[in-house]
């Protein structure tokens, strides 16, 4: 794989379709269009042209062609798009004609976006946001990914980086003129105060919900003793028979996880084995152990057992379930009452999940930080804290330099090839 290669790929959905879009990017992109269509169309204006195979002159298709001269393009290179009729044979014929041209090859997964990064059209955070946008399945995920892809986080990083550069410049000046009478302890104290202020701003960002909750869904565990109605409630929430319902204790022996979205908020609902102190069944015992771990990892627990007997959890909700049954266990402090069998109260439970979910997820108009972001920001904050406490100006300067390096890694100014390969490998071919 070389940056000097000209790459092409189908960038629309798989044929057959009404329209198929093939993108070509690189130094020979315009030569490829000339070979297929003759004269080069006017830049950034769609032109209807007949495409012919350069090898035998046979008609391939009649298509709309657009050409975009670099560097003001999505990839930073000369870029062209062929809007074809979306039949399999048409797409295959045009791709074969392109592949036969010298200097052209099929793109690898994520290669168009990687070139955009390499040519400075986007930074690493925007590329990650784009990857999340392509994978988004709920409205909440889409909005957060769009904010990241549009550079909201990158702009915040640039503001922090500018402040770091200003601090470093002020410190260097103080060190250079330390023998002068107008440079004193108050100058270093001022730098320390500004380091703490920047540290606090970054820590505030770190205190917000993570992207993993948004991507994987908030984990909601249905817990309780055997035959408390967990599986019936799970089926009612997802509106299908996802779990086996039986009067036999211990029917659910393993975790049943169902992803679902309510009002654009992603959840991962987990039905667990009925919790009881002893089980004569070794398989059920393993299920009970896994249920305990799921509860510990949960964002919220819906407790369907006797009031006050649920596990300790900061977001445990007492649910008075099976209210259709005459012998159901009543709760004085229940978050709500419901019957999964008749449907009464189920919509109220969905509303509760949505309200709680909104508190646990980042705002819809904001971005969310993933594990990589959080690791590097924690390092940045740590270096700033060390700088603020340093008694030696030279040590303070080194801590500020390390903080800048951590921020540069966030945007991709300092990145390893392995990390880039992992990121851009998430994209489909043609993106």
Q: Which fold has domain 125-195+384-420?
A: 1.20.120
List, by residue range, all CATH 3.40.50.300 domains of the chain.
214-360
Cβ proximity of 229 and 271 under 8 Å: no
In what helix (H) or strand (E) does residue 54 lie, and over which residues does it extend?
none
List, by residue range, all CATH 3.30.1360.120 domains of the chain.
6-118
What per-residue confidence (pLDDT) applies to 280? 52
What per-residue confidence (pLDDT) applies to 33? 95
Helix axis angle for 230-238 and 346-360, nearest 10°, is: 80
In what helix (H) or strand (E) does residue 230 lie, and over which residues does it extend?
helix 230-238
Confidence band for 414, pLDDT divided at 50, 70 and 90: low
CATH 3.40.50.300 is the classification of domain 214-360: yes
Confidence band for 35, pLDDT divided at 50, 70 and 90: very high
- Give the CATH number of domain 6-118: 3.30.1360.120
Report the chain's mean pLDDT, rounded to a whole number: 86
Q: Are strands 104-106 and 316-320 parallel, antiparallel or unpaired?
A: unpaired
For 210, phi then psi, to 5°, come to -85, 160
Output the six-digit token pair for 376.
């590097």
Question: Over 70: is that where the pLDDT of 418 sits?
Answer: no
> Residue 12: left if φ>0, alpha if ψ -120 to 50, beta else—which one?
beta
Q: Is 320 helix (H, G, I), strand (E, B) or coil?
A: strand
Q: Indicate the length of the chain as a whole number.
A: 431
pLDDT tens, position by position, 198-218? 999 999 999 988 888 888 889
Output the six-digit token pair for 110.
């994520």
Question: Over 80: is that where the pLDDT of 184 sits?
Answer: no
List, by residue range, all CATH 1.20.120.430 domains of the chain.
125-195+384-420
Question: Over 50: is that where the pLDDT of 246 sits?
Answer: no
Confidence band for 367, pLDDT divided at 50, 70 and 90: confident
pLDDT tens, position by position, 54-91? 999 999 999 999 999 999 999 999 999 999 999 999 99
């Amino acid at each position: 794989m070389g940056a000097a290669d000209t790459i092409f790929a189908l960038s629309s959905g798989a044929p057959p379709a009404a329209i198929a879009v093939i993108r070509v990017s690189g130094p020979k992109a315009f030569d490829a269009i000339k070979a297929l269509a003759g004269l080069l169309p006017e830049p950034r204006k769609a032109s209807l042209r007949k495409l012919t195979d350069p090898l035998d002159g046979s008609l391939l298709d009649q298509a709309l062609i657009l050409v975009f001269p670099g560097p003001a393009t999505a990839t930073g290179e000369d870029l062209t798009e062929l809007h074809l009729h979306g039949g399999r044979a048409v797409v295959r014929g045009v791709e074969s004609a392109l592949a036969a041209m010298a200097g052209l090859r099929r793109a690898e997964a994520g290669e168009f976006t990687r070139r955009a990064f390499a040519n400075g059209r986007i930074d690493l955070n925007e590329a990650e946001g784009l990857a999340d946008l392509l994978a988004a399945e709920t409205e909440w995920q889409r909005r957060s990914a769009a904010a990241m892809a549009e550079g909201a986080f990158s702009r915040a990083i640039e503001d922090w980086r500018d402040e770091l550069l200003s601090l470093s410049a002020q410190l260097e000046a103080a060190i250079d003129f330390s023998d002068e009478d107008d440079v004193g302890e108050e100058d270093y104290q001022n730098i320390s105060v500004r380091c703490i202020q920047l540290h606090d701003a970054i820590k505030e960002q770190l205190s917000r919900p993570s992207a993993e909750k948004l991507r994987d869904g908030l984990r909601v565990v249905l817990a309780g003793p055997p035959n408390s109605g967990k599986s019936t409630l799970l089926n009612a929430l997802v509106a299908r028979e996802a779990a086996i319902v039986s009067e036999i204790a211990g029917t659910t022996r393993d975790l049943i996880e169902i992803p679902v979205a309510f009002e654009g908020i992603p959840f991962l609902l987990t039905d667990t084995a009925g919790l009881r102190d002893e089980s004569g069944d070794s398989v059920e015992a393993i299920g009970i152990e896994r249920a305990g771990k799921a509860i510990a990892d949960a964002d919220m627990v819906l407790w369907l057992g006797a009031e006050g007997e649920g596990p300790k959890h900061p977001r445990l909700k007492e649910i008075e379930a099976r209210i259709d049954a005459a012998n159901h266990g009543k709760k004085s402090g229940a978050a709500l009452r419901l019957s999964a069998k008749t449907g009464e109260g189920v919509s109220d439970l969905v509303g509760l999940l949505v309200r709680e979910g909104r508190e646990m997820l980042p705002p819809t108009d904001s971005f969310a930080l993933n594990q990589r972001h959080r690791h590097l920001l924690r390092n940045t904050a740590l270096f700033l804290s060390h700088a603020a406490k340093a008694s030696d100006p030279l040590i303070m300067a080194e801590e500020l330099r390390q903080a800048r390096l951590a921020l540069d890694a966030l945007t991709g100014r300092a990145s390893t090839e392995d990390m880039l390969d992992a990121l851009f490998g998430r994209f489909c071919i043609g993106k």
